[in-house]
Structure 1
Amino acid sequence: MDPLEDVLALLGTKAHLSTGLLAGGRWAVRFRPPEGVKFNTVRRGRCFLRVEGSGEPIALAEGDCYLLTKPVAFTLFSDPDAVPLEAGPIFARAEDGLARTGEGEDVLLIGGRFSFGERANTLLLDGLPAVIHVPSGTAEADTVRWALGQIGMELLHRPLGATLVAEHLAVVMFVHILRLHLAREPKPASGWLAGLADPVVAAALTAMHTSPARPWTVAELARAGAVSRSALAARFKDVVGAGPLDYLTGWRIELASHRLRKGTDTLAVIARDVGYSSESAFSTAFKRITGISPRDYRKAPPTAGGLPGVRRRPSRRGDDAEGPDLAVDGGA
């Protein structure tokens, strides 16, 4: 199975579409840190994006799209000297799915956010930069532009099932933006996402994700990438930050934790399905990785941090619900 598809499915990736923003003249709107991954596209006009802690503002042209992957404040503006207004009151006054600021209708943005399950930070978001900008002029962004255009049509004309169709299109867009990011950044930060940009490591990752219960050896995984055992071991650890079999153990525990949280299968069944010969072997590995036994994990309430015993980035909720929703989310 495709590792990216695997992880997104495990995280329960969902798109939530927001109230749009229509602006003109001199204007600036400040947003609090969003929850999940924020996205916006410029459907008309031009403006700028300033993300707290990310250096110079980013110029956004018509058709551009961006993702904000960290819970940091950001500002959209037409003029750097304009005094920013807080987004909350602006989106509280939204009508017909649009909030307005400034004078005129020079700029139109639509967007939303992606929400994930408990493990999003460790499995996905920590490996991404704070901002991913997709300029409209890049030839490889055709699919992203098509998805954005379709989302705009769904929200403009509101045919039957418009919100559902637009949300699914947004997830398609998200996958393509991740692909573009990997193509543009041949050496991202370490982790499984970085491994997808390396053909040798990607072959080993795909093999493990296709058959996670198989008793893989490093030599077998090396054959998948057509390299030697030692070459794969060194390359995998350099790119991903862990050895191939350590990664395999971690992914098995991810699969098992999802089953423990979401299903009713016995520990013995889960242990067998993720590649352990016995319940005791599975329990030992689970506790070694997470610091808690499978039985205790199943009984424990879900937390924003996910699995206990694994490094987390604290969850911070912003005010991304500044107005009437088109789906679940709020402002642009």
Structure 2
Amino acid sequence: MSNDPFSDILKLANAEPVVTGGFSAGGDWALHFPARDKIKFFAVVKGRCWVHLDGEPAPLQFSAGDVGLLAVPRSFVMCSAPGLAALDAHALFSGAGRSTVQLGDGGEFTQIGGHVELDPVRGRLLADVLPPWIQIRADTPHARVFGLLLDQLVDEKATQQPGTQLASAQLTQLLFIQILRAHLRSGAPMPSGWLRALAHPRIAPALRLMHAEPGRAWRLEDLAAACAMSRTTFAAHFTATAGVAPLTYLTQWRMRLAERALREENRPVALIAGALGYTSESAFSNAFKRVTGLSPRAYRQAGAT
């Protein structure tokens, strides 16, 4: 196991960002993007635009190097100026039969966009802790790397060099990680959960310990000591930040690891139980059923059908 909860959960959720296309524009233009049940992201490579999210009172301005991430199914309009009649983006891209289109002379604005593929079950680990909307501006200190990544992504798409498919996928993954890192450093409000706990400098050490050794018999006082707090203060801070008590979080994380092992490995249930800190298979089975609603064997059988 690692002491990097961020990487652990991204891997467990099978988070795979994919650049699906983009467009260039010139003159007056506006596109309406329908709501989708996926995490969507986009980046402005050149020029400026306005983005009006459904349900928000006012549009937001984006400049070159700015990145946006939409974690809830909301439609939005991207435009050169507010108030313009918008074309349907889905119809435009489908009608063009390709992933990139040009509006007007295409000389003033360029954008790339995509979405994040997630495991249909474990993906909620990530989706549930993200705020509805993230905007990272290029002029913030923690966004300096965005420009380099965007330039390289555009170059890969344009030149089609050997290995461009793999390079583009790796660059997109790195861009997604940098978006989340920048958000963590920004101090912006976040819903309670592991991501918010990871951003809390006094709580994060306990999170890293539990991820590094999920099978260890952690006591509340051990985790509190790692965070230089009393048991009571630590428990209160952790619960307020992560949304659950420390040892409840540990149990939930163990169960997520158990789910993966039951679906993807052939290890006996007893060995999985021991690796996750349970002294008997029956104790593990009871805990697993309490969290998932199924016994370990029933869960494994359901995954095999």
Q: Would you say same fold, with TM above 0.5?
A: yes
Which residues in structure 2 correspond to 1:28-67 (within 5 Å)? 28-67=30-69
Amino acid in structure 1 at the alignment position of 2:265: G
- Tell me the CA shift for residue 92 of structure 1: 2.2
Deviations, residues 228-271 of structure 1 (Å, cap 9, x unaligned): 22221111111111111010000000111111122222211211
TM-score, reference length from structure 1: 0.86
Deviations, residues 189-220 of structure 1 (Å, cap 9, x unaligned): 21111111212210000000000000100111
Match of 1:101 among 100, 103, 119: 103
SS for the counterpart of 1:59 is strand
Distance 2:108 2:23 in 1: 11
- Tell me the CA shift for residue 133 of structure 1: 0.8
Worse-superposed segment, 110-119 or 98-107: 98-107
CA contact (8 A) 2:13 2:123 kept: no
Distance 1:51 1:187 in 2: 18
CA contact (8 A) 1:208 1:248 kept: yes
Match of 1:292 in 2: 294
- Tell me the CA shift for residue 2 of structure 1: 0.8
CA contact (8 A) 2:59 2:82 kept: no
1:85 and 2:87 are equivalent in the alignment:
yes
Distance 1:138 1:78 in 2: 23
1:278 and 2:245 are equivalent in the alignment:
no
Match of 2:221 among 219, 236, 242: 219
Worse-superposed segment, 183-192 or 130-139: 183-192
- Tell me the CA shift for residue 103 of structure 1: 4.8
Change (3 A) 1:294 1:120: closer
Change (3 A) 1:95 1:160: farther
Match of 2:181 in 1: 179
Distance 1:146 1:260 in 2: 41
Match of 1:153 in 2: 155
Worse-superposed segment, 247-256 or 272-281: 272-281
SS for the counterpart of 1:249 is helix
Distance 2:259 2:122 in 1: 14
1:233 and 2:222 are equivalent in the alignment:
no
SS for the counterpart of 2:161 is coil
Change (3 A) 1:91 1:17: same
Distance 2:214 2:228 in 1: 20
Match of 1:73 in 2: 75
- Tell me the CA shift for residue 126 of structure 1: 2.0
Distance 1:186 1:226 in 2: 25
Deviations, residues 79-113 of structure 1 (Å, cap 9, x unaligned): 22221111122112447752123454321111211
- Tell me the CA shift for residue 186 of structure 1: 5.9
Worse-superposed segment, 96-105 or 191-200: 96-105
Match of 2:203 among 194, 201, 204: 201
Distance 2:303 2:85 in 1: 44
Which residues in structure 2 correspond to 1:103-122 (within 5 Å)? 103-119=105-121, 122=124
Higher helix fraction (1 or 2): 2
- Tell me the CA shift for residue 147 of structure 1: 1.6
Worse-superposed segment, 62-71 or 122-131: 122-131
Amino acid in structure 2 at the alignment position of 1:55: P
Tell me the number of residue pairs that the alignment of Structure 1 and Structure 2 aligns.
302
- Tell me the CA shift for residue 50 of structure 1: 1.5
Match of 1:265 among 250, 262, 267: 267
CA contact (8 A) 1:90 1:100 kept: no
- Tell me the CA shift for residue 187 of structure 1: 5.1
Identity %: 38
Worse-superposed segment, 200-209 or 92-101: 92-101
Change (3 A) 1:32 1:97: closer
Match of 2:14 among 8, 12, 15: 12
- Tell me the CA shift for residue 139 of structure 1: 2.1
CA contact (8 A) 1:90 1:101 kept: no
SS for the counterpart of 2:32 is strand
Distance 2:158 2:203 in 1: 43
SS for the counterpart of 1:239 is helix
- Tell me the CA shift for residue 53 of structure 1: 2.1
- Tell me the CA shift for residue 299 of structure 1: 2.2
Q: What RMSD over aligned residues (CA atoms) do the two structures have, in Å? A: 1.8
Q: Which structure carries more relative contact order (alpha carbon 8 Å, separation 6+)? A: 1
CA contact (8 A) 2:15 2:123 kept: no
Amino acid in structure 1 at the alignment position of 2:267: D
TM-score, reference length from structure 2: 0.93
